[in-house]
Chains A and B, each alone.
Chain A
Amino acid sequence: MTERKIELEVLRYRPEQDAEPWFQTYTVPCPEEWVVLDALNYVKDEIDRTLSYRWSCHMFVCGSCGMVIDGEPKLACKAFLRDYGDKIRVEPLANFPIERDLVIVMDDFMEKLESVKPYLIPKEEKSLDEGSYLQTPAQLKAYKQYSMCINCMLCYSACPQYGLAPEFIGPAALALAHRYNMDSRDVGRKAREDTVASHEGIWECSFVGACSEVCPKSVDPAGAIQQVKFSSAIDYFTSWLPGGGSR
């Protein structure tokens, strides 16, 4: 029996020789259990060792192999060849500059992630001797979904708002800010507010919802952002009430 073969159209960009990206087609085998990442590894090992892409765990935990597969942001390790036709188009994540082939420049994302202070800001610092900050299962549940992000950036690739307005802090970073705001051990909401509840923050989001549709971990960043909009709007209106603070 002859093994089924498919064509992989991969966007190539080699900065030292290409003025702009172009598609290179590779013919690869298509075993039932292979994902797009396996096909790329086959290309790298057997056909063309100059092809560059990021990957690490091969089990959708590390978030390294995000790319656009047939127009859809996907983890290459979670996209089975059997679910596609005889021709699969593989491109780097949209809305990011291309460093080389399928590798994008993620500096902007890293800066935005850092800007929302994505760490616990406790009311009082405890020494190790005083033990840990306790939390009930219900308190954990309140933010757990938003803590599942693996920073794969599929949401940034899917978000047209980020593509059109690059200053937008974006889905994953805002969802992470929400994750800490919702944490019973955290009091950092005010400290994050200037970044999060700003024009470049939640208010740049027009709720296209694409981020949540492509998220491989069902984090629902779009939902998180709408919830922050709601609490931020409440903050704004209560600030006009007597004793509601200055604005």
Chain B
Amino acid sequence: MSRKPYQRELPKTTWFLRHARYKKYMLHEISAIAVAVYLLILIVGLFRLAQGPDAWAGWLAFVTSPLGLVIHLIVFGLSLVHTTAWFKAVPQAMRIQRGEQFVPGPTIVGAHYVVWAAVSVFVLILAGVA
């Protein structure tokens, strides 16, 4: 008997709408773009600073404007998505074996949060906020 296998194609552009876990994946992938855009804004700020007080004041006015504030909120939200998604995945990529046991996943993730908090406090102190 001749065979006639039927091939179902995965839609190239809408595949991620098929399952909640794919949408979640797309969200934390897209969150990287927000982080990149914010880095660009900061780099532009550096250039404006180098160009003198007026240029710097203009950039400052932009980032503290209502639009700037909205951008900050969106970027902050997406940065949290990005950070928590990757922290959650760390134990999968980083297995630490001690004898016959592995260091538990929550310990590894927890250590990341501790370092994150410490670095944040350090940066806030440097910035004169805390």
Contacts and interface: CB of A to CB of B under 8 A. Distances in A.
Contacts of B92: 209, 212, 220, 222-223, 226
Interface in B59-118: 89, 91-95, 97, 99-102
A207 B102 CA distance: 22
Interface residues of B, number: 28
Interface in A137-175: 137-138, 141-142, 160, 163-164
Interface in B1-23: 1, 3-8, 10, 12, 15-16, 18-19, 21-22
A234 B102 CA distance: 22
B100 A20 contact: no
Contacts of B89: 207, 209, 226
B8 A141 contact: no
Interface residues of A, number: 34
A142 B5 contact: no
A122 interface: no
Interface in A45-88: 71-72
A88 B105 CA distance: 35
Interface of B: 1, 3-8, 10, 12, 15-16, 18-19, 21-22, 25, 29, 89, 91-95, 97, 99-102
Interface of A: 13, 15-16, 20-21, 71-72, 94-95, 97-99, 105, 137-138, 141-142, 160, 163-164, 206-210, 212-213, 220, 222-223, 226-227, 229-230
